[in-house]
Structure 1
Amino acid sequence: MGSKNCEVCKGEQSKYKCPTCFIPYCSMVCFKKHKDIPCEKPVPPSEEPPKHSDTLKDITDERLQEIDDPSCVLSKEQLESIVKSSEIRSFLADVNLQKMIQKVDSSRDPENELDKAMGDQTFLQFTDKVRSIINPEE
């Protein structure tokens, strides 16, 4: 393990690490200087908060602008019904179904890709179940 220089004074070899943010420092003087500026514990990459442009609200807002007919947008209650359905969760355990959904969602021509996916029995059953949940009276 190679030695590092102090991140505060940049001159001396570090002997210690800040217990909060783990930056290396060489002395009590540098530690006190470092603590004058509040530091934070680093966030592991898997726990990083989403970038502003990647938040669900931003993605939803962008997608809503692409919709010609706002009546096609599901209500919060409809979405919650889908999420709570054990049958839907069971369908979504199928890796092939996951791949088909991802392919439709990421396609440059999603309508064409959806038409292709509708030829698959599992995908067809899945979409029928979703429709029965969002429109129970049909």
Structure 2
Amino acid sequence: MGPKKCEVCDDAQSKYKCPACLVPYCSLACFKKHKETPCAKPEPLKEEISHKSPDASHSAIEHPTAAKKEEKPCYVGERREVLQESQLRSVAASNEIRDAIKDEKLQKLICNIDSSTDPDNELDKAMEDETFLLFTEKILSTIGK
């Protein structure tokens, strides 16, 4: 699955997907243009219907010193990468994860990934850090993966 073209301007390579309908787009300007027309979530796949999985609610970990800014669009490469609401609740309720996220080094690594123009590369770098690696293992253990 290679890079996709922006379905709004039909010119640039898309970097994001609409969180509601998953249409690929390349920029904030294209996202705003896309949102001028109401969109809806695509129909669930047959596999999802059989599991009757609830819609995943989106939550974010906010850096304590981060200024309020416009919400960053959500990009999901594969629908199976989206956590179910129950999994998100488990992560939010975990004292172990809540304690880990207090670590300033971990907060910085997460902020670097979130604010990067190349988050995949930044994630690869973060995975080399023992603190981040342990954090991801705690999350995966909590969500049952």
TM-score w.r.t. the length of structure 1 is 0.52
Higher percent of residues as helix: 1
1:107 aligns with 2:107: no
Structure 2: gaps (5+ residues): 1-67
CA shift, 1:71, in A, is 1.0
Report the Cα distance in structure 2 between the residues aligned to 1:118 and 1:79, rounded to whole angstroms.
21
| 2:88 alignment partner in structure 1 | 79
Q: Equivalents in 1 of 2:102, 2:130: separation in Å?
A: 15
Per the alignment, residue 123 of structure 1 pairs with 132
1:21 counterpart residue number:
none
| 1:13 match | none
Instruction: Name the % identity.
Output: 46
Stretches of structure 1 lacking an aligned partner (at least 5 in a row)? 1-49
Amino acid at match of 1:118: M
Match of 1:16 in 2: none
> Aligned AA for 2:98?
R
Quote how far apart the aligned CAs of 1:68 are: 2.8
Matching of residue 97 in structure 1 with residue 106 in structure 2: yes
Count of aligned pairs between the two proteins = 78
Which residue in the other structure is 1:69 paired with?
Answer: 78
Q: Distance in 1 between matches of 2:127 and 2:116?
A: 15
1:128 aligned partner, one-letter code = E
One-letter identity of the residue aligned with 1:134: I
User: Take 1:116 and 1:92, find their aligned partners in 2: how far apart are those partners?
Assistant: 18
* Higher RCO, Cα 8 Å, sep 6+: 2
**Higher-Rg member (1/2):** 1
The aligned amino acid for 2:101 is L
Q: Runs of at least 4 residues of structure 1 off by over 3 A?
A: none
Measure the CA separation in 2 of the matches of 1:68 and 1:117. 19
TM-score (norm 2): 0.50
